[in-house]
Structure 1
């Protein structure tokens, strides 16, 4: 006879530790903090129940009394770094300024914890700090004449835009670390190649754009701010 099928469970509705015995030696917060330290140091692929258990000094099987699945650990980790948003000031009354402020904070958090980009999904949006963030974000949009669902889309779009920009920056930085020459040498060679390609006349529009910009290196801060402002403009009522 087949056993009973497993049922879905929300980690936040589960007691911090199940089972009988003496008072727990560790808290859920201890375990999550250890997992975040491992991920920050060695990446999300280094996070395993065995590694985290070793980090806090307990047996691997004991860890399952606190966190039943690795997916639950991931959800706890995402919520833990969501606590790093500073929302104490409350909405300013200027929804654009507030969204930019949140976007800047999101970028800083993702830079501190690059692994979080791989884990962020709508499925991990039910933790206490994630809910606090969403409530704050919606409060910042109170003065914006849009349906609630569109406001949620706005928050998701801003977050997704930040994730894309940070992921690209991290990928470029990782690539640069693996080069056997300097970044300046790499860019000089690539720049010479591109100029040669454009000189052939096969890419007139691209050549015109680069000529117009004067081949000035892009300022990442300017690009970030400009991109987010354009995203916000797309949600402003006509």
Structure 2
């Protein structure tokens, strides 16, 4: 990527293309769409100007007229996938069920991150200035209209939901990738690990853990239930659920 600009700049304030001349055969959105496709297929480390130029069919250096820095490309990519949120009228706007709104946002975020797992590596609060990111934040604040909370606390609530979802999805993705890399089935892996754990607990060195696992029963944990329960607890930490 090209070197840093002499002064800070926001990619959203930069013209679509620097310089004059005939209308080009591609646009900034074409570049970003190509970058998202590469990242989805091969991971974020596979994204390079050379790779994108080859996919689009143009000269590598010409892309710097549209996206001068790698950080700018990442910001454009994150904002592009943020357009996948379905932002219907929030129930909280009229004092309705803000919890249902935020749970829906959390579920949608989980789906987006599973479709684009590379986003977890890129996501920072510095990427909150794009049009889709701003629409997302405005929507979430609309969901929380009925809450008697300071604005800063509402922003913390939104950030807590997003952070929790990213943590859960990162673990889900890591587990799935590990399972795919094993030369045996996931059931075999769990059986061996479960047997080892039982032997350790039987020795009496972990009585609290043994008691907790015994009370939980032998039924496998439902990831969907855990996800929902965890998000509800995050929301309850800001406003306790009605009895």
Q: TM-score range by the shorter chain?
A: over 0.9
User: Which of 166, 187, 207 is the matching residue for 2:169?
Assistant: 166
Find runs of 4+ consecutive structure 1 residues off by over 6 angstroms: none
Match of 1:185 among 188, 207, 225: 188
1:155 aligns with 2:158: yes
Gaps of 5+ in 1: none
Separation in structure 2 between the aligned mates of residue 103 and residue 42 of structure 1, nearest angstrom: 26
Unaligned runs of 5+ residues in structure 2 are none
Does the CA contact (< 8 Å) of 2:79 and 2:132 recur in 1? yes
Whether contact under 8 Å (1:98, 1:140) holds in the other structure is yes
Partners of 2:90 and 2:101 within 8 A in 1: no
Residue 165 of structure 1 contacts residue 224 of structure 1 at CA under 8 Å; is this kept in 2?
Answer: yes
CA shift for structure 1 position 91: 3.2
What is the aligned partner in structure 1 of residue 211 from structure 2?
208
Q: Deviations over 1:147-206 (max 9, x none)?
A: 000000000000000000000000000001110111111001001000000000000010
Contact 1:17/1:24 (8 A) holds in 2: no
Contact preservation (8 Å) 2:79, 2:133: yes
1:65-80 equivalences under 5 Å are 65-80=65-80
CA drift at 1:24: 1.8
Q: Deviation of residue 43 (structure 1)?
A: 0.3
125, 138, 145: which one pairs with 2:141? 138
Mapped partners of 2:162, 2:91: distance in 1 = 18
Q: How many residues align?
A: 234
SS in 2 for 1:64: helix
Distance 1:223 1:124 in 2: 29
Tell me the TM-score normalized by structure 1.
0.96
After the TM superposition, which of the residue ranges 83-92 and 117-126 deviates more from structure 2?
83-92
Q: In the alignment, what sits opposite 2:24?
A: 24
